[in-house]
Amino acid sequence: MNFITGKHLSRRTFLRGTGASVALPFLDAMVPAGRTWRDPATEFTRLICLEEDLGHAGGHAYGIENHLFAPAKIGRNFELVQDSQLKSLEGFKEHMTIISNTDCRMAEPWRVEETGNDHGRTTSVFLTQAHPDQRAGQIFLGKSIDQVHADRFGQETVLPSLELTSEGPGGGDSTYASLISWASPTQPLPAISEPRAVFEQLFGAGDSAADRKARVQTNKSVLDWVVAELARAKKSLAPEDVIALDGYTTDIRELERRIELVEARNRSGEQRELPEQPSGIPDIWEDHVEIMFDLQVLALQADLTRVITFVHGRQGNSAFLNSGVKTAWHTASHHGNYPAAIKDFNTINAYRMSRLVYLLDKLKNTEEAGVSLLDKSVVMWGSAMGDPNIHNHRKCPLLLIGRGNGALEGNLHLKAPDGTPMANAFVSLMQAIGHDDFTRIGDSTGEFPLSFPRGGLATAEAAG
């Protein structure tokens, strides 16, 4: 590499060894010296979609009145009350766009036979905003927005999209209940739950499956198989790039170590909390989610993918004792309209939401060409369920975090008029992140602007 002549390191450089392939993060050496140059990989918007199955307490009249999800103020500089489900994200307020009062009516039962399967429809409808065909033997839904984004911006990456889940195999009661990413109305994309499988997708490309298996069985780090190429690459890099590359490889090695510890613990013969789960999945949901978040950041940092979906929300029969509530999450969602029970459900939701801080911190502190990944991304969290006590799909929660390369202003609460489809917000989001020709999805009736006029309405009361 020669900085004087303008030669530079390709954005698609991989360090390759037997059974291993390690992509590099963005480095200064990838910018040719002496001439203006823009890397397309630093300009598109990364999209991370997280689905929460059980709706929110803010969809109930009590939750609305007490601002458990939607703040009282519409527009800029909203306040999050102490009991808000979003309170833990207050440090990211400048990156937050809260969208309240939208409906996902495509998740409602259209026929008598569909009554009672709202959870399955909730998951499948979230990113497609289409009504699933639930007749026996039929699979038909719609294309999800993550796949629309992957088709346009992900085709030059190793993984056009990455589908993940926090539940083990068989966690959903149907295809619709388990999968949120759909390449076409008849092609759902399976989601990966085991961290090791995700790690191998990102860094395990090699000469053959046998090579990859042999590498894993040696108990060596994936980096040990590319050590010579790594050392050679460092000799050509400026000190700043060496520091950046060292930090990146340290993160890879540490994550690999944590995955190995989980596997060893679960194979030790000690009694497990979740004995039916594969050995590679942590028994503790929080540990599982944290590792999956680490994998997502590394994938984005190395531009291995630009689109990620994560079923963050099931495990409905589990209790989250660290939240302070002993009741199982799904049981708590059927709160019976009792304020104390609604508060318990909200407390669990707030605790689960607080886990998102880990991902947002890492995105904010990971830079690419001097800009944080959080500013280059949109993290979309939401649910097609409104008030789970009655399995309705009105007043559903939707939250966008990040700037999306300027697509989102942040520090905004936007309240939709009654009856507005969530799909309208999706139309506006997709247009803002590079899909000018995206005009309709599901039951959309138009656009829902993701900005707020200066001098506009300031309170929910004023919105009337």
Residue ending a domain, among 264, 280, 296, is 280
- Are 210 and 178 in a shared domain? no
Amino acid at 359: L
User: Looking at residue 59, which CATH number applies to its domain?
Assistant: 3.40.720
pLDDT at 463: 45
Residue-averaged pLDDT of the chain: 89
pLDDT at 109: 94
Residue 329 has pLDDT above 90, yes or no: yes
- Are 79 and 57 in a shared domain? yes
> Measured between alpha carbons, how far is 83 from 88 in angstroms, rounded to an integer?
10
E-state strands within 1-68 = 14-17, 20-23, 46-51
Percentage of the chain beyond pLDDT 90 is: 73
pLDDT in tens, 18-28: 778 999 999 99
> Measured between alpha carbons, how far is 389 from 386 in angstroms, rounded to an integer?
9
pLDDT in tens, 425-443: 999 999 999 999 999 999 9
Q: Helices H, strands E: what count in the chain?
A: 15, 14
Angle at 223 between CA 222 and CA 229, to 5 degrees: 125
> What pTM was computed for the model?
0.93
Mean predicted confidence (pLDDT) in 15-36: 83
> Measured between alpha carbons, how far is 464 from 416 in angstroms, rounded to an integer?
11
What is the CA 80 to chain-centroid distance, rounded?
22
**Confidence at 5, pLDDT banded by 50, 70, 90:** very low
Give me the helices (H) in 106-208, please.
Answer: 118-128, 145-153, 175-178, 195-203
Q: Give, to the nearest 10 degrees, the angle between helix 356-364 and helix 285-301.
A: 20
pLDDT at 67: 98
For residue 20, what are its two tokens? Answer: 């291993």
- Cα-Cα-Cα-Cα torsion 269, 270, 275, 280, nearest 10 degrees, comes to -70
For residue 120, what are its two tokens? Answer: 């399955």
Mean predicted confidence (pLDDT) in 227-247: 93
- Are 163 and 200 in a shared domain? no
pLDDT in tens, 356-412: 999 999 999 999 989 999 999 999 999 999 999 999 999 999 999 999 999 999 999
- Are 257 and 133 in a shared domain? no
- Are 188 and 229 in a shared domain? no
pLDDT in tens, 452-461: 986 555 444 4
Q: Please provide residue 18's backbone torsions phi and psi, each rounded to the nearest 5 degrees.
A: -65, 115
Sole residue written with tokens 């138009």: 446
Residue 210 has pLDDT above 90, yes or no: no
Mean predicted confidence (pLDDT) in 77-86: 97
For residue 380, what are its two tokens? Answer: 């979309």
pLDDT in tens, 57-76: 999 999 999 999 999 999 99
pLDDT in tens, 268-287: 888 887 777 888 899 899 99
pLDDT in tens, 240-261: 999 999 999 999 999 999 999 9
Quote the number of domains for the chain.
2
- Are 351 and 408 in a shared domain? yes
pLDDT at 209: 62
- Are 8 and 73 in a shared domain? no
> Measured between alpha carbons, how far is 447 from 431 in angstroms, rounded to an integer?
9
138 inside domain: yes
Residue 330 has pLDDT above 80, yes or no: yes
Residue ending a domain, among 261, 280, 299, is 280
126 inside domain: yes
CB atoms within 10 A of CB 72: 16
pLDDT at 19: 76
265 inside domain: yes
Residue ending a domain, among 245, 280, 315, is 280
- Are 316 and 254 in a shared domain? no
Domain of residue 248, residue span: 1-43+195-280
> Measured between alpha carbons, how far is 7 from 363 in angstroms, rounded to an integer?
30
- Are 215 and 130 in a shared domain? no
Residue 6 has pLDDT above 50, yes or no: no
285 inside domain: no
> Measured between alpha carbons, how far is 107 from 122 in angstroms, rounded to an integer?
6
pLDDT at 369: 87
- Are 319 and 175 in a shared domain? yes
Mean predicted confidence (pLDDT) in 80-93: 98
Mean predicted confidence (pLDDT) in 148-176: 85
Q: Which residues of 285-304 are buried (b: 16+ CB within 10 A; e: fewer)?
A: bbebbbbbbbbbbbbbbbbb
Among left, alpha and beta (phi > 0; psi -120 to 50; other), residue 227 is: alpha
> Measured between alpha carbons, how far is 361 from 372 in angstroms, rounded to an integer?
10
111 inside domain: yes
290 inside domain: no
- Are 357 and 330 in a shared domain? yes
CB atoms within 10 A of CB 418: 10
288 inside domain: no
Enclosing H/E stretch for 263 = helix 239-266
- Are 226 and 312 in a shared domain? no
Residue 10 has pLDDT above 90, yes or no: no
409 inside domain: yes
pLDDT at 112: 87
> Measured between alpha carbons, how far is 458 from 435 in angstroms, rounded to an integer?
30
Mean predicted confidence (pLDDT) in 150-168: 93
Residue 217 has pLDDT above 80, yes or no: no
pLDDT at 464: 40
